[in-house]
A and B are shown apart, each in its own frame.
Chain A
């Protein structure tokens, strides 16, 4: 999730933030701050995602060279964690839980319905940059399964046939993008 300062940066960003020298300089400053410690790849990737909003190929290659870590390994870490995204994320990140409880209580069907409704696959973003879709592994709300999260809001007992209703407020921008960050952790049941 972008921090508030970084959000300002991302908001003024061009279509191709990876070509912005100011962002690269900011990233290098962060990475240089780590010195030659071991295990700096993940923090470096987190910083980059905060700065750019996602992880563009050019930035990943830059990190690989700068940290002298093979590009395959950088990509291996990026593709391992669902937190990292190599495509620009939409305004709303929809994460469908496929942890055990959600899985057995229909998480897979929920996912299929969302894919169908948004017309995107996991890891993708809608053309209008409104929604991105990811899979999650347990949000710690198993008793409410199946759950999805839209940004920081958890929606419980989601039914595929009522998805349209659930997503409508987001589609119509009736909620704030950073709604619920902090205290509010559960949304209403749909």
Chain B
């Protein structure tokens, strides 16, 4: 193994490691603006330059592998000067309206300029034309702020396999955008926001709904209810300097009440409802296939993640019949709130405003889909990302850290642990299996702490098999059957699963897909910056929330039982069909 010195510190590193990772392993930080952990380095931004003893030129540490005996200096005068020049050059082309930028708090460029002590930009000149793209309901792009680091391209092309973004034109005129510098709306962007999640500056962000939400809260004639997605509670704390993976469910609830929401509810409630519908849908598909010998699309795919829905509609329309017809928990919540809840509260649904807090940008798109008006109104009015909520709480002058924990309101605030784990990869599958297994056998899922080991964790595609023995009489056709399930997160991984199914190499009954790496905890609307360590910390927090609950299975949620008794009657019933299910349609990619 090569032995090198970094700033006169000896370190033994693995063959093939880069200078950057070697330095980080011994606690020496080298700044980067384009590097994305786990992906091929690009060497585009040049801020990670380091000096090698005897080297004529400085080298980018992100893409230079170590060799035995290498002497590296990461903080020499030459390095500092070069780095300063590089950052100044970036600033000279950057539209620096920092006070008005939504990255004011966590801009990597601004932070780096500060750390390097840059107080003056020596290079003045023409700036490239600034194009602002507000064409989609989810994302806003500002080319004036873009530093062309190309992280978004890695996210869009390599991680998601979508390829909406690419460098267009050349040299000074280069702009990172859809084909011919067109708007996102005109291309097959799934609106997942992974580009925004990795952007080091304010060039890609969510389309803000903050003003609209304040307006609703200020309007005394409106009954404003809020739902919080499962993934928020494990990430919102990061907006208030808590370490990643700190659960802040109680403080979040208190903060939302302070902001003036009339009711604070939980998307977890409708996650439980989703399991009732989606689990029964799966069993009904299995029954049709195995008992009635009818033609039915299997495997069934989960349908909670709107980026994934877009992905199927654009790129794999042949699989549309396989996607569960269940609306996502966000949309089920809106439909239930403006019908069932409106009736319970005696509120005219036209005066009800439903706000969602989501870890996601695609949810902003989803709530405006034409199909999402089954209550007679737009079921969900506004969607705030975790980041937007953090900003609003600060803006409202709420001292988040000193808040006392509060409980969510009833009935739409009651949920099971199965709903919590909707936040992370493998969670929807596990939640569905906890319920489906029990419905079929009458017995609890025989697994430690109710977790399905093989589908827990950050591996891109995970599989599990589940043998069904001694089912209840209604399900005797499943006796001895082995249920094959798969879990994918990140659309590139989802595409692998789809290709394997299409080519006959894989055969599953149920597949969970979450658009973003790690699942919703790693969503495009979460606090930046999210790497695998952050993902894992948030996932641990979510499992902790699940395990800490008495209620662990969706079908045991008393408020769900009540909802069926009073209103929906039964899973897959007529009312469910109308309010909780939807259809998808093929869309052109180019």
Is there contact, CB below 8 Å, between A76 and B166?
A: yes
Q: Does chain A have a CB within 8 A of B64?
A: no
The stretch that binds A, out of B76-84, B156-164, B359-367, is B156-164
Is there contact, CB below 8 Å, between A71 and B590?
A: yes
Chain A residues in contact with chain B, CB under 8 A? 60-61, 64-65, 69-76, 79-80, 86
Contacts A71-B187, A71-B590, A80-B169 supplied; 14 other A-B pairs, CB < 8 Å: A60-B179, A65-B589, A69-B163, A70-B164, A71-B178, A72-B163, A72-B168, A73-B163, A73-B166, A75-B168, A75-B180, A76-B166, A79-B170, A80-B170
Chain B at the A interface: mostly helix, strand, loop or mixed? Answer: loop
Cα(A74)–Cα(B590), bound, Å: 12
The residues of A that contact B166 with a CB separation of less than 8 Å are 70, 72-73, 75-76
The residues of B that contact A71 with a CB separation of less than 8 Å are 163, 178-179, 187, 589-590
Is there contact, CB below 8 Å, between B180 and A65?
A: no
Q: Does chain A have a CB within 8 A of B165?
A: yes
Q: Does chain A have a CB within 8 A of B167?
A: yes
The residues of B that contact A69 with a CB separation of less than 8 Å are 163
The residues of B that contact A86 with a CB separation of less than 8 Å are 180
**What is the CB-to-nearest-CB distance from B586 to chain A, in angstroms, rounded to a whole number?**
14
Is there contact, CB below 8 Å, between A61 and B168?
A: no
Nearest B residue to A60, CB-CB: B179
Contact of B590 among A65, A79, A80 (CB under 8 A): A65
The residues of B that contact A75 with a CB separation of less than 8 Å are 166, 168, 178-180
Is there contact, CB below 8 Å, between B169 and A72?
A: no
The residues of A that contact B179 with a CB separation of less than 8 Å are 60, 71-72, 74-76
Is there contact, CB below 8 Å, between B169 and A61?
A: no
**What is the CB-to-nearest-CB distance from A15 to chain B, in angstroms, rounded to a whole number?**
21
Is there contact, CB below 8 Å, between B169 and A64?
A: no
The residues of B that contact A65 with a CB separation of less than 8 Å are 589-590
CB neighbors of A among B291-339 (8 A): none
Is there contact, CB below 8 Å, between A76 and B167?
A: yes
Is there contact, CB below 8 Å, between B187 and A79?
A: no
Is there contact, CB below 8 Å, between A70 and B163?
A: yes
Cα(A64)–Cα(B179), bound, Å: 11
Nearest A residue to B157, CB-CB: A70
The residues of B that contact A61 with a CB separation of less than 8 Å are 590
Nearest A residue to B178, CB-CB: A72
Cα(A79)–Cα(B157), bound, Å: 19
Q: List 16 A-B contacts (CB under 8 A).
A: A71-B179, A71-B187, A72-B163, A72-B177, A72-B187, A73-B166, A74-B179, A75-B166, A75-B178, A75-B180, A76-B179, A79-B168, A79-B169, A79-B180, A80-B167, A86-B180
